[in-house]
Structure 1
Amino acid sequence: MRKRLKQLLILTFTLILSLPTLIYCDDNNKVDRYSKSSILIDQTTNRVMFEKDPDAKRPLASLSKMMTFLIALEAIENKEVNKNDIITIDKDMAKVKGSSYHLKVGEKVPLYELMKGLMIVSGNDASIAIAKHISKDVNTFVQRMNDKAKELGMTNTTFVNPNGLPIYDLQNPKALPKENISTARDIAKLGKYMFDNYEKEVIAITDMQTYSYPERGFQKNNTNALLGIIPAVDGIKTGYTGNAGYCLAFSMVVDKDKDNEIKHRMIGVVLGANHKEKRTSASLSILRYGKENFTTKKVIKKDQLIGKKYIKGLEELEVTLKSEDELYATLKNTENLKSQITLKELTYPVKKGDTIGVIKYFTEDGQVIGSVDIISANDVDNISLITKIKMIFTD
């Protein structure tokens, strides 16, 4: 039955991507009918393509492990640890309940295998092993998670452990548990940061549909069902607890084509679905909406000529203006892009590369899409005596 449902989802997604583009619909519940909060962003441009209550604080469940994974990647990069380090499993690691990598006391496991167990099979025990190896104790590691969240601007996120399990007060069973809390928007920020800085390392693990470690006699499928439905999906992480519901952070590559001028990636998050199949359906619908209703195009080239400006209005003091960088924009099919140039008052001398102003791009409803600095393409710093006299008389 589950195999037939999976085949049906693959067929459905293939068919809907081949249909004509949908008319844009403002009713978010028609795009995402199943989650409590969701968001879809473009990694390259950071454009929000879809959102549904994206700033509501909700339990995070195992999406927490994205931050645990990121801290591990950074620790390896900083040479605090090595991915081939062998970790001896202790009681604190092995006793963790919930989704498990089935670690046993005394077992010796490489850090990199624990990272796979963390992200692919959602091992709660693996998260504790990683935390203790990197920071010696779990509390110190959790503080590092919170510090990183603050650094990334995840202003609505708080971690209490490395795996997302609720922590109950056994002395007060009626009290609400302590839990990792975040928002769809914050988790999208985390996903974007991971791909911006560690794309190769991330997809080497999150894109694996099946994880096998023969030395431990362990094999299990990735908990992310989207990997088997859409070939272009390459991550990221599932999550579930009773309080959090079914959650998913996901990523999908969109190839360069007649509508998209660069290959790029969509990153999405759904929180709080009440069934794992509804979590999958919500994610598929959001990806479909983003692919059908948005395109990514270059709006300005690097070193593109903007115009010319003259110091004190003198022709011999001509400054050529050009764009410092290129800029891509993700736009709805129905949107038109407007631009606005703001320039500084020019004063002598001007050096090549000096920032002269900025060009901003925005939609018709005023949403800023991006901006590029305008710089000088030439030096104006060696003038004749006659020009110096002209400058005096133009003051």
Structure 2
Amino acid sequence: MKKISIALVLLIFISSIVYSDDLNTGLKGALLADFESGKIIYSYNIDEPIEIASITKLMTYTVAMDEIKKKKLNLDEYVDIGENPPKEYGSTYRLKIGERIKLQKLIESMLIASANDSCVALSEHIVGSEEEFVNLMNKKAKEIGLKNTKYINSNGLPENEKQNLMSMKDILTLTRYVLKTYPEILDITNKEVLKKGKIVFKNTNPLLTRIEDVDGLKTGYTEMAGYCLVSTMNVPKSQNNDKEFRFIGITMGAKSKPERTKRSYNLLDYGLKNYSYKKLVEQGQNVQESVVVNGKNKTIEAIAKEDIYALVKKDSIITQKVEIIEECKAPIDKGQYLGKVLYYLGEEKIAEGDLIAKSDVEKKSYITDILNYIKGIFCNVCIS
């Protein structure tokens, strides 16, 4: 059982809020989220499975990196392009018969230039056939909890009027998984160009040169999917932002490249102007004085075990709820768990953290109490 106390925390973040009614205009879907917590702060049509085009390559990369992690292959090994090089259309790495390409370069071309032929070459090199590789992709989708996802190939191109499908919520889950498990992907996706001899391939991500701190992640286009972009940017600590964090923005189904760029830019800009991470309590801060049972001290400070932050809108009023164990019985050791502090925005819990004892509290000695009582009586008699 716990004692619960509720208080209105004087954390009111006020500023001029920018509202955007057209973030999803002309799109099949739009989503903006915090990478660390997964909190979605803007969404439109995020549950319906839709065509994803080359957004597929985020899963292709994930499966390839899983095999590298298992030490079944390494990034420095060479891939031989045989008598039947992948003849995929659209964006390619211009693979030719007899080429020997490092696995690292195939992966880079897949992410930077969105090379469709590199995906097929990669798939065949890793498990012998693209069909078997796609089985691994769908198996991985189930493993990480993608509920509205189906892959039919490794690059996202149409096949017999069918395409790879994902919901935007699944795209977010996959993106967070990739960034957590293989953060080195950003060392590739933040490059503006990739060279192959004298050929220069430009990064297909239009936001790399338009928004500071954008460092990924993947574009996509087919006629059915429209123009798509999963973007991500690191937001540094600043005067208005108490800690560094990362946005993930997803725009799907734009009708043109300029429209994709505009909507993706607006989505991230909306997040930057309206949301920030705020420190709700500092490590070691006294959150509540708690009564101690049978202690030499009658109360003890329940302090925050660590800093607690939350991503909040800049007009937020946050409430605090403190849950302390029903009886704080002495003896109590410094650092001992005493309860929790929870923070809410309306009914939504946005953060929580442990409360611990600031200091030791010894158990009260009843013999000492009795002796002090007798001593008090004796002194009173003497004075009389």
TM-score, reference length from structure 1 = 0.79
Equivalent residue for 1:80? 72
1:333 has 2:311 as partner: no
In the alignment, is the contact (CA less than 8 A) between 2:17 and 2:314 conserved in 1? no
2:244 paired with 1:263: yes
| Aligned partners of 1:120 and 1:211 also within 8 Å | yes
Alignment partner of 1:322 is 2:293: no
Structure 1: segments with no counterpart, 5+ residues: 1-20, 169-175, 388-395
CA contact (8 A) 2:296 2:364 kept: no
Match for residue 361 of structure 1 among 332, 343, 353? 343
Residue 62 (structure 2) aligned to one of 58, 61, 70? 70
Take 2:100 and 2:366, find their aligned partners in 1: how far apart are those partners? 81
Q: Which residue of 2 aligns with 1:191?
A: 175
The residue aligned with 1:204 is 187
Deviations 1:298-356 (A, max 9, x none): 22233443334456465559665333332221111111222212234357686666654
- Secondary structure of 2:119's counterpart equals helix
Structure 1 residue 110: Cα displacement = 0.4
**Are the structure 2 counterparts of residues 117 and 342 from structure 1 closer, same or farther at C-alpha, using a change threshold of 3 Å?**
same
Q: CA offsets per residue over residues 132-168 of structure 1, 9 Å max, x none? A: 3333333343233233333433322222222112221
Looking at structure 2, the residues matched to 133 and 386 of structure 1 have their Cα atoms a distance apart, in angstroms, of: 78
- The structure whose Rg is larger is 2
Q: Note the C-alpha offset of 1:243.
A: 1.4
Structure 2 CA distance for aligned equivalents of residues 325 and 80 of structure 1: 41
Asked if structure 1 preserves the Cα contact closer than 8 Å seen for 2:92 and 2:116, the reply is: yes
CA displacement at 1:184 relative to structure 2 = 2.0
The aligned counterpart of 1:97 is 89
Residue equivalent to 1:161: 153
Higher relative contact order (CA 8 A, sep 6+): 2
Secondary structure of the residue aligned to 1:193 is helix
Query: d(CA) in 2 for partners of 1:264 and 1:189?
Result: 17
Note the residue ranges of structure 2 that are not aligned, 5 or more in a row: 1-14, 368-384
| Correspondence for 1:6 | none
1:94–1:102 contact (8 Å) kept in structure 2? no
Q: Contact between 1:118 and 1:126, CA under 8 Å: does it hold in 2?
A: yes
Structure 2: distance between partners of 1:341 and 1:86 = 58
One-letter amino acid matched to 2:257: K
Q: Which amino acid aligns with 1:288?
A: D
Q: CA RMSD in A?
A: 2.9
Matching of residues 200-239 of structure 1 within 5 Å: 201-214=184-197, 217-239=198-220
AA at the equivalent of 2:355: I
**Deviation at residue 22 of structure 1 after TM alignment:** 5.8
> Could you give the per-residue CA deviations for residues 40-72 of structure 1, whole angstroms, max 9, x where no partner exists?
112234332221222222111100101211233
- Cα distance between partner residues in 1 of 2:247 and 2:288: 35
Residue type at the aligned position of 2:341? I
Letter of the 1:130 counterpart: L
Count of paired positions: 354
How many angstroms apart in 1 are the aligned matches of 2:131 and 2:145? 21
Given that residues 294 and 363 in structure 2 are in contact (C-alpha distance below 8 angstroms), is that contact kept between their aligned partners in structure 1?
A: no
Contact conserved, 2:292 with 2:298, CA < 8 A, in 1? Answer: yes
What is the CA-CA distance between 1:94 and the residue it aligns to? Answer: 1.6
- What letter matches 2:49 in structure 1? K
Q: Among the aligned pairs, what percent are the same residue? A: 31
Which of 247, 271, 274 pairs up with 2:228?
A: 247
CA–CA separation in structure 2 for the residues paired with 1:255 and 1:219: 31
Distance 1:58 1:258, change over 3 A: same
CA displacement at 1:292 relative to structure 2: 1.1
In structure 2, the residue corresponding to 1:251 is in which secondary structure? strand
Which residues in structure 2 correspond to 1:233-312 (within 5 Å)? 233-310=214-291, 312=293
Alignment of 1:141-160 (within 5 A): 141-160=133-152
Distance 1:157 1:310 in 2: 53
Aligned equivalents of 1:141, 1:320: Cα separation in 2: 57
Distance 2:88 2:50 in 1: 23
Structure 1 residues 259-304: Cα deviation after superposition (integer angstroms, max 9, x where no partner): 1122322110001111111111110111111111112222223344
Partner SS state of residue 182, structure 2: helix
Equivalents in 2 of 1:184, 1:66: separation in Å? 13
